[in-house]
Amino acid sequence: MVVYNFKKISAVPTAGDMVDIVLTRTQRKTPTVVHPGYKISRIRSFYMRKVKFTQQTIQERLGGIVEDFPRLNDIHPFYADLMNILYDRDHYKLALGQINTAKGLIDALARDYIRLLKYGDSLYRCKQLKRAALGRMCTIIKRQKAAFAYLEEVRKHLSRLPALDPHTRTLLVTGYPNVGKSSFMNKVTRANVDVQPYAFTTKSLFVGHMDHRYLRWQVIDTPGILDHPLEQRNTIEMQSVTALAHLQCAVLYFIDISEQCGFTVAQQVGLFKSIKPLFANKQLVIVVNKVDQQPFETLDPSKKAMVEELGKSSNCELMTMSNVTEEGVMDVKSRACDKLLQARVDQRVVGKKVNDVMNRLQVFQPQARDGEAREPYIPESVVKAKARGEIGSKDHKPKMGRGGYAVTKDDVTGDDDVDMVSGEKRKTERDIMWEMGGPGVYSMDYRKNYLLNNDDYKFDVIPEIMDGKNIADFVDPDIELKLAALEEEEDARIAEKEAAGMGEESESDLDSDEEAAVSAIREKKAILRQRKQDNRKNTAVMPRSVRGRKKDKHDKPMLDKRNVKKTLEGLGVEADGIVERGRERGRKRSRKDGEGEDGMDVEQVDTSGMSNKELKRHKREEKSKERRSVSVARSHSKVREPSQQGLRDDDMKRVATKKDMLSKRRFEGMSGEGDQRKTVHLVKWMNTGKKRNGTHNKR
């Protein structure tokens, strides 16, 4: 079933816009640069490409438009007729035809100009040709301005037509203006059609959908029809007539017997007779509307006769209803739907396809397997209630929607929780909630509805964690049994262990003397270790490469100058020069360290017994001795300390060091505010140790 949806037609641009689109596209998508210096073939192909491209673009666009619009011969006759009424078939076809011819013309143009371009001999000539070609194409398009505008209007209107499926179940509502067709539509479907007291409120077809017997139905509301011959009908009426003519549907012809619409019953009956041919193959229901104003029974007998005669003559049903009181509305709907369904089924049965379906259907009746009678079970309370007449469909007035506002206390009505069976009003949780203060204040304690073995347990606080373990991991209905098994196992294990452990002695196998000896030895070892630690000076150690390698200590005798000379001469080498150089090197090293020269003995003065002052003097003398010894024979200058550079001589140097020492002297007992030194407040116990279970900001 094709659902006609004309929304997919792409928008038709105006002529001016079309020209813009085409030309900008050409400019963007083709190369733009050409120079007179290029080869002529290149220039020609450049311009030919432009012309061709423009032609192609226009073809695409115009072709697209023509394709998109529906062809009146190919669509359902209802839509074809509708479009004819609304847009005039001839005009429509003409517009599309014009566009098609424009397309053809442009093709021809392009061909001609490309042929001409093949013989263009300069850039200028080619350019002029291209300009001419494009210009003429655009003129052709501009000439179609009217067609474009018309087609755009058509497209807009077309996309707004109601999506009608001409093949599905449809109910058509028709009659004079103002008889109550749109009101009926509103009642039956979810549509919201305008209902106003003036005639021709509904100006076009409206479609609504409803459900009946689990099927989807379309209800079409038409504009009112007046009684005059076909030729004099205006567009609006023609739409209804078209619908009537082409759609396979059930027709509901509305008659307003109260004559509130402004037309007499006679007129309405007359209209019916004149459009009767349109009802030829259709199910018809004549609906007498507005019976709340004028009940059918008390109607004027002549009018009544007319209406009844209508019913008999056309062999259709006559039904009464009122939109205002809603009596009979549903009946009318069901009747019409059932009639249509029946007609459709009958139609299908006649056809060939039915046999396929019938063969697929097999109806089984369950056979009774024994003689037992199985009655339906109805609880007693329900039987009693039924007898009392309380169970049945109640008229439910729909509650007024509050459109997004919060529910307040006033909206709460306690009367829709009447217990159907017992008839009492049951107090619901919502009522309790409102009593206790409202939604934010009170919330129901769901624990009271728990179903446990013992009702005392309902409000217990359930423990979750104990001793770093989850209790839920241990909960088990068989836990007692398992525990008993474990206890047995443990007893068994302990017994076994005792038995095995009798042979073992965990005590030491030495006697007390030996024990004492062992402990004494261990103590001594510990002391020695400690002493070694203490004897290490708390200073930086010179690296071995300077100090002397450990292994070289054993080799020292070998590196003695006499031994070296001996070995080298043994090998047959001239040893004197080598030994001299070695001595020089050693001397250099020793000078830097301040050690005594090779050959010059350093007096070992016992410094332990001297006082501080004497020690200082001794040191100074030693240094000066060294300096004196060095200053006599120096082959190269000694490197100065960085702090001593810039000082002229030794006196200045002495002054500088003295001042340096003075500034470093601490003022003890002379502490004022400016002399306080800030200590770092790191507490040992807080800032030492490994980080265990904490952060990295603190320990």
Partner 1 sequence: MRIEKCYFCSSPCYPGHGMKFVRNDSKTFRFCRSKCHRNFNKKRNPRKVAWTKAYRKTRGKEMAVDTTFEFEARRNRPVKYDRELMGQTISAMQRVEEIRGVREVDFYQNRMKDAAAQKKGEARVE
Residues that bind partner 1 (CB under 8 A): 452-454, 456-457, 460, 462-477, 479-480, 482-483, 486-487, 489-490, 493, 497, 504, 506, 508-510, 514-515, 517-518, 521-522, 691, 693-696
Calpha distance 18→145 (Å, rounded): 10
Contacts with 141 (C-beta within 8 Å, 6 or more apart), sequence order: 15, 18, 19, 22, 58, 102, 106
Residue 377's alpha-carbon distances to 123, 368, 370, 381, 420, in angstroms, are 101, 18, 19, 12, 18
Q: What is the DSSP letter of 408?
A: -
Calpha distance 97→143 (Å, rounded): 14
Nearest to 344 by CA among 162, 188, 171: 171
Q: Return phi, psi of residue 607, to 5°.
A: -95, 0
Q: What is the DSSP letter of 457?
A: G
Nearer to partner 1 by Cβ, of 124 and 459: the residue is 459
Closest approach of Cβ 447 to partner 1, in Å? 10
Nearer to partner 1 by Cβ, of 41 and 688: the residue is 688
Q: Return phi, psi of residue 294, to 5°.
A: -140, 95
Nearest to 206 by CA among 176, 249, 161: 161
State the number of CA atoms in the 13 A half-sphere of 407 facing the CB. Answer: 11
Nearer to partner 1 by Cβ, of 532 and 691: the residue is 691
- What is the identity of the amino acid at 192? N
Closest approach of Cβ 103 to partner 1, in Å? 56
- Could you give the angle at which helices 123-143 and 89-117 cross, rounded to 10 degrees? 180
Closest approach of Cβ 661 to partner 1, in Å? 49
Calpha distance 17→61 (Å, rounded): 12
Closest approach of Cβ 694 to partner 1, in Å? 7
User: What is the per-residue DSSP string for 16-74?
Assistant: HHHHHHHHHHHHHHS-----TTS-HHHHHHHHHHHHHHHHHHHHHHHHHHHHHSPPTTT
Within 10 angstroms of residue 321's Cβ, the number of other Cβ atoms is 24
Query: Encoding tokens for residue 474?
Result: 């241990």
Location of structure tokens 């011969």: 73
Nearer to partner 1 by Cβ, of 514 and 598: the residue is 514
Long-range contacts of 475-483 (CB under 8 A, 24+ apart): none
Nearer to partner 1 by Cβ, of 354 and 510: the residue is 510
Closest approach of Cβ 471 to partner 1, in Å? 6
Helix (H, G, I), strand (E, B) or coil at 173: strand
Nearer to partner 1 by Cβ, of 230 and 517: the residue is 517
Closest approach of Cβ 531 to partner 1, in Å? 19
- What is the identity of the amino acid at 45? S
Nearer to partner 1 by Cβ, of 526 and 600: the residue is 526
Closest approach of Cβ 473 to partner 1, in Å? 5
Helix (H, G, I), strand (E, B) or coil at 521: helix
Closest approach of Cβ 529 to partner 1, in Å? 15
Nearer to partner 1 by Cβ, of 464 and 673: the residue is 464
Closest approach of Cβ 685 to partner 1, in Å? 21
Nearer to partner 1 by Cβ, of 163 and 483: the residue is 483
Nearer to partner 1 by Cβ, of 1 and 475: the residue is 475
CA dihedral 138, 143, 148, 149 (to 10 degrees): 120
Query: Encoding tokens for residue 374?
Result: 């199985």
Closest approach of Cβ 443 to partner 1, in Å? 21
Calpha distance 45→28 (Å, rounded): 17
Within 10 angstroms of residue 196's Cβ, the number of other Cβ atoms is 10
Location of structure tokens 């063969």: 359
Nearer to partner 1 by Cβ, of 194 and 496: the residue is 496
Closest approach of Cβ 429 to partner 1, in Å? 23
Closest approach of Cβ 530 to partner 1, in Å? 18
Closest approach of Cβ 250 to partner 1, in Å? 58
Nearer to partner 1 by Cβ, of 330 and 471: the residue is 471
Within 10 angstroms of residue 110's Cβ, the number of other Cβ atoms is 23
Nearer to partner 1 by Cβ, of 119 and 474: the residue is 474
